[in-house]
Amino acid sequence: MAKVVVITSGKGGVGKTTTAASFATGIASLGHKTVVIDFDVGLRNLDLVMGCERRVVYDLVNVIKKEAKLHQALIKDKRVDGLYVLPASQTRDKDALDLEGVGEVIEELKKKFEFIICDSPAGIERGAQLAMYFADEALVVTNPEVSSVRDSDRVLGLLDAKTYRAENNLEPIKCHLLLTRYNVKQVKKGEMLSVDDVLELLGIPFLGVIPESKYVLSASNAGTPVVLDDANEAGQGYLDVVSRFLGEDRPHRFLEEKKGFFKRLFGAN
């Protein structure tokens, strides 16, 4: 059975697109046929992070408007087998999407893919609601700060009420908390909320943290999802998250400050 997973947050700029790219790439690299859809119509950027922006011919809106066939719009990833991108339109406005059209596209994708990853736009308005409507599971991307947690809370309310599963009284969408841009030092100093603080406020299962890392930006600029670089912590964090999502039990590696050489020698903190 194909699974539809929405990457959502409410607040903008918290790392949804970064997560969608790395999550989809990670799942596909473990042998699952995966497509990642950009729902951020008008603000195309998933294709940039995925490094396929120059191969975009048709997009989600073209498919919904029946101006192109689905297979014409799907872009095959060059690095990972079984990974496809369905880009958003840069030229249309966000009202170009409608529920029925999105439903048809997702139904068709379900026949071909194991995982359908939806990169939601920010906010809690129509675009975000369309992206989450058909989801089976949700990664709620949150930064460790109050405003982001509040927005995630609102999004969780919507996931619980304004989705296909909710409206048809099916089992609720399974929600997972993903804390991104986590900076252990700032958490220690009390400048950022800790994992425990956020879990206490949101009360949903915890999938993992992605440490704050400067490699994320350079990877995005290079069009390489950061998960493909397992030499840096953000990439490792995403690999852990993907494995956990697929049912593997992995320890949380990035909740504690890494001890430097001298700290280890002298046991200082």
Ligand X SMILES: Nc1ncnc2c1ncn2[C@@H]1O[C@H](COP(=O)(O)OP(=O)(O)OP(=O)(O)O)[C@@H](O)[C@H]1O
Residues that bind other proteins (CB under 8 A): 124, 150-151, 153-154, 156-158, 160-162, 166, 169, 201, 203
**Region binding Mg ion by CB under 5 A among candidate stretches 13-21, 49-57, 134-142, 164-172:** 13-21
Selection from ligand X, other proteins, Mg ion, none that 77 binds (CB < 5 to 8 A by kind) is none
Q: Pick between residue 107 and residue 125 the one whose CB is nearest to ligand X.
A: 125
Q: Where are the alpha helices (DSSP H) in the chain?
A: 16-29, 46-49, 60-64, 70-73, 99-112, 126-133, 146-159, 164-167, 184-188, 195-202, 215-222, 233-245, 261-266
Largest Cα–Cα separation, the chain: 66
Amino acid, res. 148: S
Sheet (strand 34-38) strand order: 75-76, 83-86, 34-38, 115-119, 3-8, 137-142, 174-182, 206-211
Q: Which residues lie across from 193 on neighbouring strands?
A: none
**Region binding Mg ion by CB under 5 A among candidate stretches 8-16, 95-103, 207-215, 246-254:** 8-16
Instruction: Report how far apart, in Å, the C-alpha atoms of 52 and of each of 26, 36, 75, 76 are.
Output: 17, 12, 8, 9
136-155: which residues touch ligand X (CB under 6 A)?
Answer: none
Q: Pick between residue 70 and residue 213 the one whose CB is nearest to ligand X.
A: 213
Q: Pick between residue 70 and residue 175 the one whose CB is nearest to ligand X.
A: 175
Task: Note whether 143 binds Mg ion by CB under 5 A.
Answer: no
Contact between 36 and 168 under an 8 Å Cβ cutoff? The reply is no
Pick the binder of ligand X from 216, 239, 241, 242 (CB under 6 A).
Answer: 216
Q: Please provide the size of the chain in residues.
A: 269
Q: Pick between residue 157 and residue 205 the one whose CB is nearest to other proteins.
A: 157
Q: State the Cα–Cα distance between residues 59 and 38, nearest whole angstrom.
A: 9
**Region binding ligand X by CB under 6 A among candidate stretches 13-21, 64-72, 103-111, 125-133:** 13-21
Pick the binder of ligand X from 4, 8, 9, 25 (CB under 6 A).
Answer: 9
Q: Pick between residue 18 and residue 70 the one whose CB is nearest to ligand X.
A: 18
Q: State the Cα–Cα distance between residues 228 and 105, nearest whole angstrom.
A: 28
Q: Pick between residue 7 and residue 187 the one whose CB is nearest to Mg ion.
A: 7
